[in-house]
Structure 1
Amino acid sequence: MSSDEDIGLGEGGPMMVEVKKTSVHPSSRSPQRTQRDDYSDDYESDEEIWSEGEEDEEVMETSRPSGRRILYGADHWKLARSHCNLAEAYLEMKAGYSPQADHHSEIAKTIMLNSVTSYTTEQEKADIYDVLFKIYHTQGRALTTLKKYGEAEGLLAKADKVCGELSKLSCLSQDDLDDYEIKLAQATARLYWKQKKYAVAGSQYDKLLKLIEERHGMDCPQLIPVYQEYGKISFINIH
């Protein structure tokens, strides 16, 4: 198995050259919104509280999968990126949209698996790997919130493999790679916290703090929510 196939690409590398006519995808209709997710022991990355209308507008502006499907076809990586962007938008909302984030991540993943692909430039390869990382990272976070911890851990492990492939590309800067590592470390730390694996979660938070400090400096505001999260683990360990 090639490294591309191992991380979730179809045959070849990342850029659509033809479409399988028999591909079948999950329904593009999102599941009905469920009751508010249990956030009693979860962390939220967005400081802003949105109204229902603002949430709907954000989703519409973030991604338009139907238009991408018409423009690129049913198995193009840019359609997968559109679904992935929509999944990320759902996940950033305050209400219980994790099922929708999981749903659109799964559609994006299926598109990538059914693609027959080849890339012509290293930047195109980086763009596709970026989509793969977002798919695994977003779905892993969504399933963590939905308490499907085993599946979430597997997806974040795949995101880690994609990071390894991205690190081989000369078109990406060290800052770009650090940003991927920060996102992955934070998602992994939160997963272990939810699983009550506090020692492992603590080591991940140590890694996360170091990455952020090296990337943004000792006084950056990004450190504040991380210290707050880490403090909750310390409080639990004390009691």
Structure 2
Amino acid sequence: MKRTFVIGALAVSFISVSAFANALEFPHIATTGYGEIQVKPDMAEFSVRVVQSQMDADQAKQSVDSVVDSFLNSLMSQGIEKHDIQSSNLHLSPQYHYPEKGKPELVGYRASRTVTVQVMELDKLNDYLDLALQSGINQVDSIELKVKDQGQYQQAARIAAIKDAQGKAASLAKGFEQKLGQVWRIEYRQPMNQPVVMRSMAMDSKMESSSYQDSVITIRDRVDVTYQIAK
């Protein structure tokens, strides 16, 4: 597991500043620690959609429902658990032609449904996308690469952030020939970690497995610490 530490901004204050309402009334050192952990994804979540246009609303609905039912059955036959699949309700909308003159003309109905699948074995992602294509799914909305146990990596990033803050404080105190005192305040601000996302692909566009298996997810953490300066 590769660890990367990012050095961020820091502030040093030895004398309180009365101009600020929240200024501390004693000598102190304030630091911000950052931590990053880079990990390879081991799971994914993808959303696909089937869109059909028909002259008749019932035909459009039946066509879309048939594709979704076929895809769901194929997924479960391949071992995907039911709780790892979410399918949306049908969205049906009339389609009109707008001539330069005259009233809009109804030309049919557009129906669509979305299916979201959680993939616990990343090496099978392309197989499930192939199933979608074979079932009649015609749009990939998104593919998100994730890690199963993000908590352990978040904890590692947090420890890295704590060590980063401690190291900065110790270095500053030594540099200014001061003695570092007790921790006075800790503020924890966990960043929002974003998964690796691949969006909007046509189902006839084949995605190479290396495009996601070689990806890296960066998990970040941050902590703000204020130390007293010992007398």
TM over 0.5: no
Larger strand percent? 2
Greater helix fraction, Structure 1 or Structure 2: 1
Q: Larger Cα Rg: Structure 1 or Structure 2?
A: 2
* TM-score scaled by length of structure 1: 0.22
Q: TM-score, normalised on structure 2? A: 0.22
By relative contact order (CA 8 Å, sep 6+), the higher-ranking structure is 2
